[in-house]
Amino acid sequence: MNMTSKTPELAARGSLESWLNAAYETLKESGVDAVRVLPLAKKLNLARTSFYWYFEDREALLAALIEQWKRKNTSNLVSHSQAYAASISEAILNVFDCWLNSELFDSQFEFAMRSWALQSEQVAAEIVEADALRMEALKQMFDRFGFSEDAAATRARSIYLAQIGYISMKTYEPLALRMRFIPEYLRIFTGVEPEAHELERFYQRNGFVPPAN
């Protein structure tokens, strides 16, 4: 017997991951008010009662979404700010990977959470905490490379608030246009000329081939 196969009874319930993924997609597409048990059951083609095998109630599902956002957006951003780098430019490019890869930092998820915060004091408090954690991590990144207290804090805030502005305004830029500005962003945020090899590695890992000069 294949132990990985599901019995019909288990298949009819779905899985915790399937319910959570459906809620995640619904939150991004339609906002928190649309994250309700019956519409999710219809989306998954499952019985409404199967939801309660995995979550006590809707509030438990919403709490799980908040935890998923923390793991995906905050934890990844913090870990990338702490990743090994030989220079401050390379360190910032590690963080920029988050802005370009939705597996590391989901901008749609971030927008949905910030919209949700407008109607929930609890979520608003989570946003405040996340913002503080993220900016502190970015500040510590500058600290590692010898920037003064005020310079580190200001540059960290500039990087972070610029990206949140992109998200809040739902700014869309083709990859080529965004990559065109990367060297200038680095000059602004660091005061240092980025090395060609640092940019080449960044472009390569993000699937970008710069145009020939």
Domain containing residue 30: CATH number: 1.10.10
pLDDT band at 57 (very low <50, low <70, confident <90, very high): very high
Whether 45 and 110 map to the same domain: the answer is no
Q: How many domains does the chain have?
A: 2
Whether 29 and 83 map to the same domain: the answer is no
Q: 62 CB contacts (<8 Å, ≥6 apart)?
A: 23, 32, 35
Residues 61/55, Cβ–Cβ less than 8 Å: yes
Whether 39 and 144 map to the same domain: the answer is no
Whether 42 and 86 map to the same domain: the answer is no
Query: Of 87, 183, 66, nearest to 129 (Cα)?
Result: 66
Q: Which pLDDT score, from 0 to 100, does residue 11 have?
A: 53
Whether 125 and 156 map to the same domain: the answer is yes
pTM of the model: 0.92
**Six token digits for residue 115:** 């919209």
pLDDT digits (tens, 9 = 90+) for 66-79: 999 999 999 999 99
pLDDT digits (tens, 9 = 90+) for 106-126: 999 999 999 999 999 999 999
pLDDT band at 33 (very low <50, low <70, confident <90, very high): very high
Cα 53 from Cα 112, distance rounded (Å): 26
Is residue 2 domain-resident? no
Which residue type sits at 13? R
Whether 197 and 124 map to the same domain: the answer is yes
Percent of the chain that is helix, strand, coil (3-state, to 5): 75, 0, 25
Whether 76 and 116 map to the same domain: the answer is yes
- Give the domain range for residue 21: 11-55
Q: Which pLDDT score, from 0 to 100, does residue 158 have?
A: 98
Whether 29 and 127 map to the same domain: the answer is no
Residue 21 burial (C-beta neighbours within 10 Å; 0-12, 13-18, 19+): middle
Whether 77 and 123 map to the same domain: the answer is yes
**Six token digits for residue 63:** 């709490």
Whether 117 and 199 map to the same domain: the answer is yes
